[in-house]
Structure formats: C-alpha cells, structure tokens
A and B are shown apart, each in its own frame.
Chain A
C-alpha cells in the first residue's frame, strides 16, 4: 500500500477489543511452527495418509474454488497453488457476497452439479452453521494441523486473511485529507460519498459496528445522501473515476489495483478500524474432495498465506509471513462470529434499509 494510514481518534474506538485481538495473535505467534506438526489435533494425519490424499488429488486433477476476495488476490492464490501443485489445476470463480452462499446452497441440493469444492467466503456464519449440519469436510494436512487453533472455527472453518476495512478518496476532488469516518460528515462531501450496500452479512456487521460504536453516526451519514454500490470494488472504481469523492467501505487489495494504475486515490486505515477474516472450508459434497483438502492445506501454509496477504494487504495468523500487515500496529477489531447475534443484525438491517433506502 502506497499511502500510509493516518491516525485519527474517534468515539468509536474500542481499545479493549483491539488488545484482545493482539493478545490472541501474540498467542498464535507464540506457537512454534515446527512443534505445530506434532500437535495432537484431528487435523494431523500420518505422512503416508497425506501422501495418499495428495495422490488422489492429482488423480482428480482439479479443484474448484468459489472465492469472494479481490481479483488480484485470487490471481496470486491460483498462480501460487498451480506452481506448487503440478497435476492439480485450481479453477477459481469469483462469487461475491451472499450470492456465494446461495450458489453453495443450490449445489448442495443438486448433487449432480460439479460446483465449488472449496470456499473462501466472508459469510463465515453460514460456514460455521454448515459445519454443525455436516456440510463441511474436516480439514487435514500438515499446514492445517499447524494452523493456530484459535483460527479454526468449529474444527472445520479456517479463518484467513485478517482484513481491515478502509476508506478511500479521490485526491483530485478532496483537498483536505480524510483521516477517519467522522470526516465523511463534512458538509462539502454532501452527495459525494459512496459505500457498499448490504450484499453480505459481514457488510451489515460493519455498519452495525459503526452504529454501535458511535450512536447517531449512521443517521448523520445517511443525511449525506450516500450512494450505495453493489460491491466495494465498484465503489472504489467510482472513487477513482471521480463519480464519487470518497468511499466508506473498501479493502486494501482493491485499492492497490487502482494505485497500480496511478489513479488519484488515497487509502486510509481508520483508527480504530474494524475488519474481518475470510472463512476457508471444503464442502462435503465436493466432487474433488482430495484436491480441495490439498488446496486448503496450501492456503493455510506459509506460501499460501503469503499469496493471500500480498504486499501489506491483510494480516496472517501465522507468524513471519512475508508481506503480512502487522495487525498489532493498526488498532484493528475483527468480527467475532461467536458473539454475533443474528436477530439483532436482522433488526439492524431493517433500520439500515430505512436510513439508506437501498438493498
């Protein structure tokens, strides 16, 4: 990321959560990689069995991944996996938001369809509930066994890519730098702010965090006549084009794609910031189950993590991953799916719909 974040204190800061996260990461970092292999968890399989899985994966020849990350991240993951796993071709389809969950649900009830084997989803709640219902295969493999326990939800869903939500703005249109969410309320930005509609539960959680952390903020933001886009990529591209001046909801890899094109765009990691991790899991109806397990294991390995985090685009639960954001330094709180109350989220969505009049 070219533009370093600018610190900005605001009432929505939640120091306790950030400290908890840092402590969690420190714990994860404290687990030595070498000894992790010896962990007595169910994800550890004997070398001979893992070799059998790898052989079977090569016979399957391919793995189909449905992912919701930025296109550049997908390209890196596919390139790294295909280079490291000759004989297994990764096919990655970008399906964003709740549409990915809808596709998996349809494929679950249509057993003849050769659909997604592995998910990289932001809809972690569905994956966690799916694990309880037997929709997911238990992940195994050396890297999977070494992955920090705190980042394997329900024994089936690996949390990867610790991603802060960021703001971005068009530097041709905004001359006074934007440093945090409060700046979006500036009068001169009336009608020039964009964001992303509730295309996934995780987006609802972002707005809920804003609302919970700073009561009354969303009402003021809605009064700015915010333009809602179907994805954060679309909103960011519109910021780059100048259609809107500032975008309240993006992630760093999306912004970096425009930085590379020399677009007049600046990225800001707010302080404090809120973020999420993607859920990675193999579905039980997979047509290429062994290849899917190998792919998931690769993603959880240091090489896979490096492809995922890119150059300072996300953090990794693994220590020492090249290019990983140092989460401890950016005051980030992550969505804690164990504590998400869906009833309150649904109630919040009704409020959001009334405020922003979009879907």
Chain B
C-alpha cells in the first residue's frame, strides 16, 4: 500500500482506493437514495398533510360518523383474522409434515393454491356461496333437516364475523409458507428423543415442535397481523352494504369524492402506519439479526413423524373450502344468465364471457395488468437483488448505506398497500413528478410496494447459495461483474425465478393500491373488477375473477419454466 501510494496508484487506477472502495460505496449510496426516494417520499409527503394546520386533519377524523366503530373494527379484524390465520396455517404445516408419501408432493403444495386465486375473486366467490338469502351454500344448508324454516342464513357473509373468517382464510397460506419452511428445515433429533421416551405425536408437537417453531410463528404472526391491519378487499366488498367500515375503506371513499381530502386520509392512515412500524420494530428486536433465522437446510437423519392419512384429509378440506368451492361458484355464476336465488338455472350461457372479452376497456385492463406486472418484475428483480446483495455484505458496505437499504426494504412491508397507494396518489398527481393517469404510476406503485418482498426473498436465496463460490471466483481472478454473471446469478437462477413467480402473483392480484392510484383510463384487472362489482353485473365479475386465476396460473408456470421445474415450489 505504501509502495502504491508512492507510485500514485493508491487512489486512482486499477486497485486504487477510489475504484476499489469509493465508487462501489457511492453506488450503494445511490441505490439507497433511489429506493429511499421511492419509499419514503409518498409516506412523508402524505403524513406531513396530516400534521399541517395544527393537526386539524385529526379533528376531521374524529368528526367522521361512526369513526369509533371503524377503528374498533379495524383492530378487531386485524387481531382475530391473524389468530385464525396462524391457527389454520400452523395446523396445515403440521398436517403437511405428516402426509403419506404418495400424496406428499401435491399435499405440500396444496395449501399454497389459494394464493393463485386473487383475494377479490375469492371474496366474490364467497359472496355467491354465503350471501344470507341467495348464497348457494346457504341454500343447500337450509335444505338440511332442522333448517327448513329458515328464510336466510345460516351464514351471513356480510358481517364482521364473515369478514374475519374470510380474511383469516386468505392469510392462512402466508402463515403456512413460513411455518412449513421452518418445520422442514428443523432437525428431528429432539422429536426422536421424545418419541423414544414414549411421547405421543400430539405431545411431541405441543412440547417439542411448536416451541421450536416459535420464531417462524412469531414472524408469520407479525406479517399476517400487518396484512390484517391493512386489509381492504374483504371489508370493501363485504362491508359496504352491512355498514361495516375499516380505516382503509374510509380512505378509499375519500378518493371517490372531490376535492380529495389527503390530510384526512393521512390522518386516517396514521394509526395503521404507527402500529405497522411498531410491529416491525418489535419483530426486529425479537428476532435480532436476520441471518440467524435463515435456516440452511440440514436434513436430519431421523424421521420420526409418523404419516397420517387424515392429515391429507385436513389439507383437502382446506383446499375445498378456500379454493374449490369459491371457484365452482364463480364458474356457475359466470355461465348463468344472472345471479339468481335458485340452485337450478334454466339455461346456461356464455354471453357474459363474450361480453367481457368484447369489452375493449376490460381487455385493455387485463393487458395493462400483465404489462405493468412484467415491467414491475423487470425492475424489481435486479433492484431487489442488489439490495439483498448489499444486506449480505455486512462489513463491506458503509453502515449508513446498509442500514438505509435495510430500512427501505422493511418499510413497504410495514405500510399497508392501501395506505401506500393513497400516498402515491397524492405525490404522483402533482408536480414535480406528475405521472397520474399513466401506466408509469402503476409501475412505480408496484415497485414501491414490492421492493421489500423482492429484497427479502432474494436475500434468502443468496444466503442459501453461500458466498464461498463467489469468493473462490474472485480469488481466481474474476472481476466483480464476471463473478456475478458466471457464478452467482446461475446459482441463484431458481430462487430468482421463484421470486419472479411470487411477485407476479402479488402484482397481478394487487388491488388495494391499484384502486387508489388508477385513473378512469388507466385501469388494471382488479380495479375494473371492482367497478363491475360496484356496477352490480355479478356474472361479469365472475368472468373477470376466473380470467385473473387463469392468467395467474399461466404467469406462475412461465416463471417456473424459466427458472427450472422446481423453482416455484422451491421458494415456498
């Protein structure tokens, strides 16, 4: 180094400090700045509106009719749907770990299938099933002995209970992802020891497995609580006629009026934002350094978990309830002349399919969804990869840049999509970046919402890959880029494809933020579906929901094909 300094190569040229240290660090700073702008700007700009004028927006919140009930419903929904989701998701993971060999492969994937059905489609399907008077399932149940006298029910989907149950079911797949991964990566030595001491499977589960799964369950609980807190789809579609509101639906109604009271919306979103940040903080403190919880698979030599045929039955019932029944209801309504209160339809028709496929606006919306999702993924994958790589380089990146990147990868997960969408509508519908009314606002929205997921998922892939090969490549004389393209990326291909598949699902299904930022002519499939739903043409809603499912499956299959046969399953 001293010699180099003497020859003037310590700072400039190959191996110089500037090229070796300063330029990469500056690159990371630029990355942190760009992502920080994307994530922080809408949140800060919006929240600023809540506090200007002496916080008068909060006074307007208090003046809203039934605001106390709305706040209470928001919190009750978040807590109870999370509890339900954690219970169901953990049960499913446990069942999946006990599946007989011949159904194991399909059985382990089955709890993930509800993710293929967009929430808006699933809720619509549930309306057709459990509408109190004319829901098909309710009508069938009323034919059972002892229920003949009932004019409606026994279930009422348009209730807080209905919304909690539907939300809990929708979120349970996420819990399954985390808990099942933890379960799979967990050694079974302790369970084997307990089995040798005569403990029954149930006792082993409650005394050994469940405590060991605590980190996964805590993490999953935090995630689904945040999702429950920002829940929008079920309350919007099920709550309106029953006079049930949550904070996010109140915010959405603001965008339907003029002039839009952004200050009021910001004040409405403030409790969600504060609780979200608190949950993430607690989660971080409870779990500590993230890498501790990325479990590198080390399969146990022991396999003490007995297989149980009933485990497959439990998963089958879950799949039937969450996916098969709503899809059947959607198919039935889509080919009926109109949604009728009769189990027997005199004729079936494809006119609603024809009507949707001939409707230029609806077809445009479907293409806009596909286009913006694909463009979003094209930006998110490299951006997320860089951020994940930065998080992995614990000592090689200056601390402020790494902390900033960590924060910007966490914030979008903590802020509900509807609140972020409200903020994005505010900042991008006025100068200096006025992109409201264009597809660009959708792409920016998607990138902002998903950058956290993209980073976290690819971080897991990178950790799983290990740095040894990269270091060996560098030691062998390959440059950073060569090592990246010839060593790291090929090794991460499947993980990246899995991230792309999951991101496509999340983006194509995105509803909450899209509904906030869409303009009349910049629509995605979720937003036009809401318009058709609000317009009441239920058969066309069913058609659109089924199209969403089909396109999602195609997208996932393409991503799987690009990444290799098992890539989709791998991430899950």
Contacts and interface: CB of A to CB of B under 8 A. Distances in A.
Given A258-B338, A358-B243, A93 B520 contact: yes
Interface string B306-347: 000000000000000000000000000000011111000000
A107 B437 contact: yes
A230 B134 contact: no
Contacts of A93: 361, 520-521
A60 interface: no
A230 B134 CA distance: 19
Contact of B429 (A110, A227, A241, A359): A110
Contacts of A242: 133-134, 340-341
A102 B519 CA distance: 10
Given A93-B520, A230-B240, A234-B535, A113 B256 contact: no
Contact of A233 (B65, B134, B436, B536): B536
Interface in B329-378: 337-341, 360-361
A354 B65 CA distance: 8
B90 interface: no
Interface string A336-359: 000000000000000001100111
Given A99-B256, A357-B66, A240 B338 contact: yes
Nearest to B538: A237
Contacts of A228: 240-241, 243
A97 B256 contact: yes
B536 A231 contact: yes
A127 B434 CA distance: 25
Interface in A75-113: 91, 93-103, 105-107, 109-110, 112-113
A177 B164 CA distance: 39
Residue of B240, B255, B520, B538 with highest tally of chain A CB at under 10 A: B520
Nearest to A111: B434
A359 B536 contact: no
A235 B327 CA distance: 24
Contacts of A230: 240, 534
Interface string B532-552: 011111100000000000000
B337 A261 contact: yes
Given A116-B520, A261-B337, A102 B255 contact: yes
Nearest to B65: A353
Interface string B47-86: 0000000000000000001100000000000000000000
B263 to A, nearest CB: 16
B258 interface: yes
A15 B436 CA distance: 49
B561 interface: no
A115 interface: yes
B131 interface: yes
Contacts of B536: 229, 231, 233-238
A113 B243 contact: no
Contact of A234 (B132, B245, B534): B534
Given A110-B434, A243-B341, A261-B337, A103 B520 contact: yes
Majority SS at the chain A contact face: mixed
Given A110-B429, A112-B437, A98 B134 contact: no
A36 interface: no
Contacts of B435: 112
Contact of A106 (B253, B436, B531): B436
A114 interface: yes
A320 interface: no
A106 B65 CA distance: 26
A115 B437 contact: yes
A71 interface: yes
A262 interface: yes
Contacts of A244: 133
B338 A98 contact: no
Contacts of B360: 91
B338 A113 contact: no
Nearest to A254: B536
Contacts of A100: 520
A335 interface: no
Interface in A185-223: 194, 197, 199
A21 interface: no
A272 to B, nearest CB: 27
A263 interface: yes
B119 to A, nearest CB: 18
Nearest to B245: A359
Interface in B362-417: none
A146 to B, nearest CB: 31
B538 A241 contact: yes
Residue of B134, B241, B257, B538 with highest tally of chain A CB at under 10 A: B241
A96 B434 CA distance: 25
Nearest to A232: B536
A141 B534 CA distance: 36
B47 to A, nearest CB: 21
A278 to B, nearest CB: 16
B361 A102 contact: no
A65 to B, nearest CB: 10
A98 B257 contact: yes
A102 B256 CA distance: 6
Given A96-B535, A98-B256, A106 B429 contact: yes
B430 interface: yes
A64 interface: yes
A66 interface: yes
A133 to B, nearest CB: 13
Nearest to A92: B361
Nearest to A70: B535
B259 interface: yes
Contacts of A172: 341
A202 to B, nearest CB: 14
B260 interface: yes
A227 B537 CA distance: 18
B438 interface: yes
Nearest to B64: A359
Contacts of B340: 240-242, 263
A105 B260 CA distance: 9
Nearest to B260: A102
Nearest to A245: B133
A230 B536 CA distance: 9
Q: What 9 A-B pairs have minimum CB-CB distances, sorted nearest first?
A: A242-B341, A113-B437, A234-B536, A233-B536, A237-B536, A102-B258, A261-B337, A99-B256, A105-B258
Interface of A: 64, 66, 71, 91, 93-103, 105-107, 109-110, 112-116, 126, 172, 194, 197, 199, 227-231, 233-238, 240-244, 258, 261-263, 353-354, 357-359
19 contacts: A71-B535, A91-B521, A93-B520, A94-B535, A98-B258, A99-B256, A102-B257, A102-B260, A105-B259, A110-B429, A228-B243, A229-B240, A233-B536, A236-B536, A237-B338, A241-B339, A243-B131, A243-B134, A243-B341
